[in-house]
């Protein structure tokens, strides 16, 4: 008689993350770029410097987008008072600010989850001050 086949050896457990690296780094980086949800990684992952950078960067991008949208609406109101057709043309261009914000957020998430940083001139330097 032949001996029963022995089960294959179990895979070794994954290595623990290095000190100062969050075990949920990927999730926290994604949250960093979803508007005010960036406060979650900013307040909970104090030891992980990379998550902190992405959270600050995400908040600055979000605030910059809000400022641009408010400024665009003010410009539309002013131009509508001057010339209704000019205000209409500018108001049709404002959805592209939202599209640009969406593209930048996706690029930041993709770069961040792959271990890189998406540097935006001016915005990234401003986020580094905090």
Give the residue-averaged pLDDT of 17-42.
Answer: 85
pLDDT tens for 75-99 read 888 888 888 787 788 778 888 888 9
Q: Which of 30, 19, 15, 10 is nearest to 113 (CA)?
A: 30
pLDDT band at 30 (very low <50, low <70, confident <90, very high): very high
User: What's the burial of 93, exposed, middle or buried (CB within 10 Å: 0-12/13-18/19+)?
Assistant: exposed
Query: First vs last Cα of the chain: how many Å apart?
Result: 72
pLDDT digits (tens, 9 = 90+) for 38-75: 999 999 988 889 999 999 999 999 999 999 989 988 88
The pLDDT value given to residue 89: 80
């Amino acid at each position: 008689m032949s001996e029963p086949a022995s089960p294959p050896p179990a895979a070794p457990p994954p290595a623990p993350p290095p000190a100062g690296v969050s075990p949920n780094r990927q999730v926290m980086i994604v949250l960093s770029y979803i508007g005010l949800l960036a406060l979650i990684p900013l307040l909970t992952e104090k030891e992980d410097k990379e998550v902190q950078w992405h959270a600050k960067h995400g908040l600055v991008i979000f605030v910059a987008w809000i400022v641009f949208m408010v400024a665009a609406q003010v410009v539309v109101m002013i131009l509508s008072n001057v010339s209704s057709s000019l205000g209409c043309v500018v108001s049709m261009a404002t959805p592209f600010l939202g599209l640009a914000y969406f593209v930048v957020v996706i690029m930041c998430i993709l770069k961040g989850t792959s271990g890189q940083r998406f540097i935006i001139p001016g915005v990234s330097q401003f986020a580094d001050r905090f």
